[in-house]
Amino acid sequence: MTRAASMRLRVDERTLETCLDRLDRQTQPRAGLELRRAPRYAYRARPLTVELVTGEATTVCCAAAARNLSRDGIGLLVGQFIWPGTECRLALRSLWENETTLGGRVRRCRYIPGTGVLYEIGVRFDRPVNVALFVPRRRPLRILLVDESPQRQELVRGFLDGLQVELIGATTAPRAGWGPPQGEFDLILLDLDSPSFDAFLVTKELRSAGYLGPIVGLACQTGRTLSARCEAAGCTGYLSKPLTREGLRELLASLDGEPLHSTLAGDVQLAPLVNRFVRELRTLARQLSVAFEIGDHETLRNLAQRLQADGGAYGFDPISDEARHVQVLLDLEAPPARLRRSVYELIHVCLTAQPATWDEDVKDPDGRGSTPFAPEDST
């Protein structure tokens, strides 16, 4: 296959940004009306090259500016007319700097009046993609802050101003046996110094109820003793007081872990089976958490054996590796703290597994692509 010379965008950066902003304003749906099959998200990645297949033995590399992205396709600005129906390929770089090549076809092309050189094209992907790999968090991060002081809650709210975060404040601890629906909160912050409730007991109850998200304590006194108590209770970790804007924002940034992709993702026949396995992983992860917290090592071993057998078979070798490690620690009757770290690392890996194709029926229940992280090693 031969390749023709690349065609560039003959427009300066400022003009390009102005054009993109104007298009976004013009295409906002009327209130209460959204006819698209899948939501679109602003995506301004540049530089971007589209490879157009113009014949049996010829391709043309065309410079483009991305405008928006959905699971079904992408909107681009280019410097020449492209016939609808043209086959194309483009490489998108993920939030974690991995490059994914996507195939598709140009569905429409229109000249943008007043620009002289710009055309807008819409490309329909050959198969749905996981938008969360390329677009930062697509919905507000929901945080529960349990702190008796309304003033401190307002301060934390101020720290988060300008971020895509929804803070829910509570002055009393969740009642005994409380377990939030998965995805209700992406993060729980607990005041470890509160005299009115035992934050460590609350953490144990949350874990026993199957809550998988990160639970982070806030404490004045820090050190190895506190780290050990947090780990034993099931806390992900803790932040020392006084809480700072920088410390809180660093914590939020750590919530977006790198996704795990199946080695079978490119197999069209096996992709639905990979998707089904990924859907089951959250349930299995919750069962792992509950089994560990109540000390049911027999169930824990059975779940680890199942994940060891199935993880690699579906193209997720890290799942099999972590599951094998859990079984080794069970055989060695390892200390609870060491076993906990291994179990929650397995849970974390399970929750980072991504479907082979992306559609509404394979989303996580919480609608996010990110996942909770494992308890930190305090040794």
**Exposure pattern of 208-235 as b/e (b: 16+ CB <10 Å)?**
bbbbbbbbbbbbeeeeeebbebbbebbb
Distance CA 22, CA 208 (A): 51
Tell me the angle at which helices 199-208 and 271-293 cross, rounded to the nearest 10 degrees.
140
pLDDT value at position 256?
A: 66
Homologous superfamily of the 2-133 domain (CATH): predicted glycosyltransferase like domains (2.40.10.220)
CATH number of 271-362: 1.20.120
CATH number of 141-253: 3.40.50.2300
Residue 85 — very low, low, confident or very high, per pLDDT cuts 50/70/90?
very high
Residue boundaries of the structural domains of the chain: 2-133, 141-253, 271-362
* Mean pLDDT in residue range 349-366: 65
Residue 120 — very low, low, confident or very high, per pLDDT cuts 50/70/90?
very high
Q: What residues have CB less than 8 Å from 28, skipping those under 6 apart? A: none
* Mean pLDDT in residue range 233-247: 90
Q: What residues have CB less than 8 Å from 68, skipping those under 6 apart? A: 24, 40, 41, 42, 43, 74, 75
pLDDT value at position 255?
A: 75
Which tens digits make up the pLDDT trace of 315-351?
Answer: 999 999 999 999 999 999 999 989 998 999 999 999 9
Q: How far lies 24's CA from each of 18, 42, 50, in Å? A: 10, 9, 22
Reply yes or no on whether the pLDDT at 370 is more than 60.
Answer: no
User: Which one has a higher pLDDT value, 224 or 361?
Assistant: 224
pLDDT, averaged across the chain: 82
Which tens digits make up the pLDDT trace of 33-60?
Answer: 334 456 788 888 877 889 998 766 678 8
pLDDT value at position 57?
A: 64
pLDDT value at position 284?
A: 96
Reply yes or no on whether the pLDDT at 300 is more than 60.
Answer: yes
pTM above 0.75, yes or no: no
Residue 144 — very low, low, confident or very high, per pLDDT cuts 50/70/90?
very high
